[in-house]
Structure 1
Amino acid sequence: MNEIKLQTPVDPGRSAVEISIKDTTVVLGSCFADNIGKKMEAFGFDVLVNPFGTLYNPVSVTEAVARLGSGEAFKAEECVRMGAGSDLVCSFSHNTSFARDTQEDFLEYANLSLGKSSQMWKKATKVIVTLGTAFCFRHIQSGRTVANCLKIDGREFIRYRLDVEGTVALLERMMEENPAKEFIFTVSPIRHLKDGAHGNQLSKSTLLLAVDRICTEYPGRADYFPAYEIVLDELRDYRFYAEDLVHPSGQAVECLWSRFLDFCFPAGEREEILAREKILKRSAHRPLH
């Protein structure tokens, strides 16, 4: 009797870029980067996760990498007063989690974080980058493509979509400026449906084509983990999605983490990682009595 198949398996293979427990790793990008990075943090990896907060578009990701490399402190002219009556201060380089009550408080916090993060970036040998969308927002007055619109009136921005060549150029520059680092790229499986279903597909296709070019141009230094394909093809049942039907569920994240371990971690370290996971689960257990 033939076995009934209820999934379309996606085989990531083995990565040309291997990540070891002994490596210093930086994880940048959208929500999938947060998910993977938090797992690595919990299991005791030497890892830096989104030092400017969650980032979505390739411009912001590559600008973050450049800032980590230079370590150039944030200045008063980069401070932005947030909109929607919040009156907090942040910058167009950061997620709103960095916002503070005053300019002085923001600069102190942002630059303290930057100093520590820049030091870790310089010693890191492995980088995981998750790109979320090719759609960007350019602030009209400053001309800057922003990481976050900071709740400011949408009329102050121009929305545009990067093309494949523009995205490739950004990623090429990042690779060339960091020749000692190896990169694993992913494209976020989270759909940006505010762009419409077709707009989301155009955006993701742009990112997929650009990353494919980079992996071809830099064999051995760049590889692609198919998180997008695993979620959309192999885990396409809605039980693998959160209540918003867009973000992956906890079960889906666990599945992706397991597949990511198989993809890029040495086989000899898998046992130690699983042992760390058991210790973490035991420590999180709270007895009833």
Structure 2
Amino acid sequence: MSEYKKFLVFGSCLSSHIGVRLKEKGYSFHGALRHVRSDVLLDALSEKGGLSLSDNDVEYLISNLKSGNEDVIKRCRDQLVQNSNKKLNFFIEKIREADFVIFDNQYDLERKKSEVQINGCNHVVSNFNFNGVKLPFKDLGVLPESKFDSYNNVYDAFRAINPDIKFVFIQYPIVDGEDLVKTGRQKRVKRSESTSLFREQWKFLSTPLYKVGIDYVSERNINHFQPAVYDKLTDVVIDIVRNGEQKNLPNTIDLDGYGKKKLSPYANLPDRQYWKPAVAEPYPLAITDLYRKKFDISIEDGVATCGSCFAQHIGKRLDRKGYNYLDVEPVPADLAKEKAKALGYGIYSARYGNVYTSRQLVQLFDRAFGALSFDEVWQDKAGRYVDPFRPNLCGEGYTSAAEVLEEQQKHLQNVRHMFETLDVFVFTMGVTETWINRQTGAVYPICPGVTAGTFDPNTYEFVNLDYATILDEMETFLSRLREVNLKAKVLLTVSPVPLTATAEERHVLLSTMASKSILRAVADQLYRRHAHVDYFPSYDIIMSPPFKSMFFKNNLRSIHEEGVDYVMSHFFAEHQLEGQPVPRDLTATGHETADEAKEEEDDEAFCDEAFLELERKTNQ
């Protein structure tokens, strides 16, 4: 059982990494000796010198360091202590108590040992740079290859102290790749392979010599590896300790990537991931693979739409294509078409009008579920009462404030039903700029005083929502929606329609780019965070360079119906209802009949924001 297996570590950080993993698997760490070559330890165990520094010797060498840097002093003291007589005695005592020892040969492959005289006594020290000491020393070089077969002597020395101890030798991996040439590591590779040739002569068991690709090297430096290498070696060590055999593992094993040229992460990517073949070379309307759905939408799934003006286009095309498009506030049979639209019927899945911002969305949800309420009512220019949260969908207005609030509650009940029953919620993020009530925090689809209400700077305040705020508010909405409807999936889009006007003291073009960029970044973050949130790139398609604003009308705000059709063709190419042909020509119109095309042309999307243009003309 692993819980009573006490082990020692002898060698470099490689053995230390494996030791950490052994502890995690229930083995008991009992001590370590580091920064020491095997021949130096063998001499010490055989009482032939080595590991002979006293505490005073260590401090004497530290006092003669050329550097006064605290980190350098700390590292040097640690290396010298490992070469001390006190450390040797400690390690010998631990050998007597341990069940097995793991050690590697990194220091034997490349580290030098030196001889220094202190108070007339010669001391052999390994893995210490005496060039940084103000004392004479003798460089004894690296371990000669003639001694690569002496590991059996090291094993015998351990067994002389503890006849029952197991000995697990970890051959230090070698790394393939051009980096070896640049760092002059060819000799180390050759010495590793030479050591491995003696494996069949060893009295103890060892890991194979792993040859790893450069991908397995840590970013720290070439002496450290990725966790996968340490994990693999740990598994082999455990197998040796438990079974006493290695199941015929070969002398050398190539891990994936060895002997293969390291490729850049950008090599051999699909064409869709390179700008030239994906964007610059194709005819713009022949660009494909812009959208890959995250989840399916079936013909039974109830789909609701909400958001800014562009979402109206999406809803109409979903309905026309045969999707189960939700309309929780359908048009009364006796209501004329133009009057129905003026009252907000058929624009979205409920009569909430345009929901431009994340805060509007959260407040709409909270109001629908009774967590938030406002008794505010506006009056239009004729003195009639209107709902401040959909001021342009009240027709000729109401005769009293009470009537507005009564109709508002009926509407919110329908909105609640929609959120509770929908399967897919399509939300088009519109703008970041909005107006709020300083006292109540209520947020509106349009600035008070433009079409209804009276603007009072003491009551109303302009707010331009930032990235962090919008992300937080959208996360709030997603969380609350899941609380009432666990099956709900969300499809986000960003409206490509520019701002009509900006309340920021800067060019409207700059405000538009800032607003849309923030919304796009939020949408991307939500897409990455949540499996039930998808993003459809309507904004990206309309606004990207290859399309050269071809989808905009002359005002450079409104989108041509053909542009909407092209955008939605990418959606329908992924979300294809059973029985419908997969669209192959993405340049083709989405209209089923000429009558539908005429209807779309006459039926402009309703935008509260468009009234801001009237304000400009009024003031001219």
Q: Structure 2 regions of 5+ residues with no counterpart?
A: 1-279, 328-347, 503-507, 584-588, 599-620
- Residue of structure 2 equivalent to 1:62: 362
Q: CA deviation at 1:186?
A: 0.6
- Residue of structure 1 equivalent to 2:105: none
Distance 1:109 1:182 in 2: 29
Query: What is the Cα-based RMSD across aligned positions, in Å?
Result: 3.3
**TM-score w.r.t. structure 1 length?**
0.82
- Residue of structure 2 equivalent to 1:101: 398
> Is 2:470 the partner of 1:167?
yes
CA 1:108–1:73 in 2, change beyond 3 Å: closer, same or farther?
Answer: farther
CA displacement 1:135-164 (0-9 Å, x = unmatched): 111223543222233524444332121111
Which protein has the larger Cα radius of gyration, Structure 1 or Structure 2? 2
CA 1:86–1:242 in 2, change beyond 3 Å: closer, same or farther?
Answer: farther
- Residue of structure 2 equivalent to 1:259: 570
- Residue of structure 2 equivalent to 1:176: 479
- Residue of structure 2 equivalent to 1:188: 495
CA 1:192–1:121 in 2, change beyond 3 Å: closer, same or farther?
Answer: same
Q: 3-state SS of the aligned residue for 1:19?
A: coil
CA 1:224–1:109 in 2, change beyond 3 Å: closer, same or farther?
Answer: same
> Is 2:326 the partner of 1:47?
yes
| Letter aligned with residue 465 of structure 2 | L
Q: CA deviation at 1:198?
A: 1.1
Distance 2:590 2:481 in 1: 36
Map 1:1-289 → 2, pairs under 5 A = 5-7=282-284, 9=287, 11-44=289-322, 45-48=324-327, 49-51=348-350, 52-68=352-368, 70=369, 77-82=375-380, 85-98=381-394, 100-102=397-399, 103-150=401-448, 151=450, 152-156=453-457, 157-179=460-482, 180=486, 181-195=488-502, 196-218=508-530, 220-233=531-544, 236-263=547-574, 265-266=575-576, 268=578, 270-271=580-581, 281=593
Distance 1:10 1:98 in 2: 42
Q: 3-state SS of the aligned residue for 1:128?
A: strand
Q: How many residues align?
A: 277
CA 1:10–1:155 in 2, change beyond 3 Å: closer, same or farther?
Answer: farther
Q: CA deviation at 1:7?
A: 2.4
CA 1:224–1:4 in 2, change beyond 3 Å: closer, same or farther?
Answer: closer
Asked whether the equivalents of residues 315 and 325 of structure 2 are also in contact (C-alpha less than 8 Å), the reply is: no
Distance 1:208 1:260 in 2: 18
Asked whether the equivalents of residues 358 and 470 of structure 2 are also in contact (C-alpha less than 8 Å), the reply is: yes
| Letter aligned with residue 398 of structure 2 | D
Identity value in percent:
19
| Letter aligned with residue 164 of structure 1 | Y
Asked whether the equivalents of residues 307 and 429 of structure 2 are also in contact (C-alpha less than 8 Å), the reply is: yes
CA 1:283–1:233 in 2, change beyond 3 Å: closer, same or farther?
Answer: closer
CA displacement 1:33-63 (0-9 Å, x = unmatched): 1111122234453324252111111110222
Distance 1:203 1:178 in 2: 25
Distance 1:268 1:120 in 2: 25
Q: CA deviation at 1:284?
A: 5.6
| Letter aligned with residue 192 of structure 1 | L
Q: CA deviation at 1:280?
A: 5.9
Q: 3-state SS of the aligned residue for 1:165?
A: helix
**TM-score w.r.t. structure 2 length?**
0.40
CA 1:67–1:43 in 2, change beyond 3 Å: closer, same or farther?
Answer: farther
Asked whether the equivalents of residues 437 and 443 of structure 2 are also in contact (C-alpha less than 8 Å), the reply is: yes
Distance 1:65 1:137 in 2: 18
Distance 2:355 2:596 in 1: 29
Q: CA deviation at 1:221?
A: 0.5
Q: 3-state SS of the aligned residue for 2:501?
A: helix
Distance 1:72 1:119 in 2: 15
| Letter aligned with residue 532 of structure 2 | R
Q: CA deviation at 1:241?
A: 1.5
Distance 1:212 1:285 in 2: 33
Distance 1:160 1:252 in 2: 32
CA displacement 1:50-93 (0-9 Å, x = unmatched): 5211111111022223334x167977x232223xx242322332
Q: CA deviation at 1:285?
A: 9.8
Q: 3-state SS of the aligned residue for 1:223?
A: strand
Distance 2:472 2:597 in 1: 48
| Letter aligned with residue 491 of structure 2 | I
Q: Structure 1 regions of 5+ residues with no counterpart?
A: none
Q: 3-state SS of the aligned residue for 2:436?
A: strand
Distance 1:112 1:73 in 2: 15
Distance 2:361 2:314 in 1: 17
Asked whether the equivalents of residues 379 and 386 of structure 2 are also in contact (C-alpha less than 8 Å), the reply is: yes
CA 1:207–1:53 in 2, change beyond 3 Å: closer, same or farther?
Answer: same
Q: CA deviation at 1:120?
A: 2.7
Q: CA deviation at 1:167?
A: 0.7
